[in-house]
Amino acid sequence: MTKLSVNINKIATLRNARGGNNPDLLEFAKKIQLFGAQGITVHPRPDERHVRYSDVYELKSVVNTEFNIEGNPNDKFIKMVLEVKPTQVTLVPDGVNDITSSSGWDTIKNESFLTEIIGEFKKNNIRTSVFINPELKFLENLNKIGADRVELYTEDYAINYEKGNPLAITPYIECARMLNQLNIGVNAGHDLSLNNISFFKQKINNLLEVSIGHALITESLFQGLETVIKLYLQKLS
Ligand code: PXP
């Protein structure tokens, strides 16, 4: 069974575009869970252009499924995670000006940093996951670092699958096999969509969780379009 954690950053982006509180992030989080998703993911960034730090505190009382907070563990992020105590924290080495996450951790260079920070979260009973490119060399020291899970960065798979190159799944299969052997849980995320998720799920053993934002919200808009256009036409007739 693979859990679906919906990344609601895009809802916050839409809200922020107009000021005010429409769409209401908390209402969306409630509905997403009501419709069956098993988790809510947020990725607050230092400039708060998507989800704000205050949203994360407010969501705490609304999320009754798995709450996953992603981000680069700077001091403000660490403080917030320790106060909110989500189910899982996913550590991502994104730069302040990155449009979105564009690389996983170099776990070799960052071994002591990750060990220290993961130790702190684990002391507080927060499950830890690290965002990693599908390269075996970055998995070897993960038990030493103490990570409970890895989120495999799936952009490369998604791009190549779309281009008709399903062999791009191979490094992910190899990483998942190694993680299973190391007894570290496998999550995945970035650019997963209705088009590419089935093949990924079929090929990856013990895929515990996917976090999906951009495509899921785009697909929801597209699938909802006909209903909403018809509702407007009824009102205008
Ligand atoms: N995982 C991480 C670490 C991310 O930064 C993001 C995007 O914020 C996602 C997963 C979700 O990616 P997408 O929005 O393409 O589904």
Which residues approach ligand 1 with their CB closer than 6 A?
Answer: 7, 9, 43, 70, 92, 100-101, 131, 151, 189-192, 211-215
Active-site residue, from 66, 70, 151, 209: 70
| H or E element, residue 137 | none
Known catalytic residue: 50?
no
CA of 211 from ligand 1 middle (Å) equals 7
Q: Please state the pTM of the whole predicted model.
A: 0.96
CATH number for 175? 3.20.20.70
pLDDT of residue 42: 98
For residue 107 the two structure tokens come to 């776990």
User: Whose Cα sits closest to atom 5 in ligand 1?
Assistant: 101
**How do residues 61-78 score in pLDDT, each as one tens digit?**
999 999 999 999 999 999
Active-site residue, from 50, 66, 190, 209: 190
Known catalytic residue: 43?
yes
pLDDT of residue 177: 98
**Structural domain total, the chain:** 1
**How do residues 132-146 score in pLDDT, each as one tens digit?**
999 999 999 999 999
CA separation for the pair 32, 53 (Å, rounded): 20
Pocket test for ligand 1, best of 190, 191, 212 (most atoms within 8 A of CB): 190
Mean pLDDT, residues 114-136: 98
Contact (CB, 8 A) for 60 and 67: yes
Decide: helix, strand or coil at residue 70. Answer: strand
CA dihedral 98, 100, 105, 106 (to 10 degrees): -50
CA separation for the pair 108, 77 (Å, rounded): 22
pLDDT of residue 206: 97
CA of 235 from ligand 1 middle (Å) equals 38
pLDDT of residue 124: 97
Q: Which of 226, 206, 224, 208 is nearest to 216 (CA)?
A: 224
Q: Which of 154, 144, 164 is nearest to 209 (CA)?
A: 154
pLDDT of residue 136: 98
CA of 193 from ligand 1 middle (Å) equals 11
**Can you give the residue range of the structural domain that contains 9?**
3-236
**How do residues 25-72 score in pLDDT, each as one tens digit?**
999 999 999 999 999 999 999 888 899 999 999 999 999 999 999 999
Q: Which residues, 6+ apart, have CB-to-CB distance to 52 below 8 Å?
A: 12, 44
pLDDT-derived band of residue 233, with 50, 70 and 90 as boundaries?
very high
pLDDT of residue 94: 87
